[in-house]
Amino acid sequence: MFKAIIISLPHRADDAIRKNADLQGRLSLINIQPWQLNELEGIARLGFEKLAISIDETLIERIAVESLTSPQLMQYICLSICTLLDADEKEVKEIPETILETAFKFTTMNFEYRDVVKVLKDGPYTRGRERKQYQLAEGHVDLYNLIIQAIAIAPH
């Protein structure tokens, strides 16, 4: 008997069954809830405490909000703050508020967006139907390419 664990995002939960009908009725779905703000804040509190670096609660809250329920992003932003402050080489006593915007930008600049853009551009499966096309000065594009172009014009 072969046992396997399949992990997928909620919007792709039925992909395995669609690709292999023999799995019908053999899967148990377990929903994992996104992290709450207080859980994300705990990452910064514990991490900076272990480093003996003081950080204001309002900064912790702001970093948690920017992390968008992702513990990995929360850790990455905290790492960016330490990297920018050169915490390995210098003695850092406190996190200045002025470092946050730079840390957020630093984090996003070091993130690989190619796969994210590809998924957005491809959109969901069409199931054999053609997508509605929109006329632009550069030619025709579908809704998902239109979204990518809109984000490129005015990124968040």
| Residues in contact with 74: Cβ distance below 8 Å, sequence separation at least 6, in sequence order | 35, 40, 43, 44, 63, 64, 67
Could you report the per-residue pLDDT of 25-74, keeping only the tens digit for each?
777 777 788 899 999 999 999 999 999 999 999 999 999 999 999 999 99
Could you report the per-residue pLDDT of 68-125, keeping only the tens digit for each?
999 999 999 999 999 999 998 999 999 999 999 999 999 988 777 787 788 888 887 7
Question: Going from the N-terminus, what domains does the chain have, and what CATH number goes with each?
Answer: 37-109 (1.10.8), 114-153 (no CATH)
Round to the nearest angstrom and report the end-to-end CA distance of the chain.
49
Could you report the per-residue pLDDT of 119-145, keeping only the tens digit for each?
888 887 777 788 888 888 888 888 888
User: Does the global pTM surpass 0.85?
Assistant: no
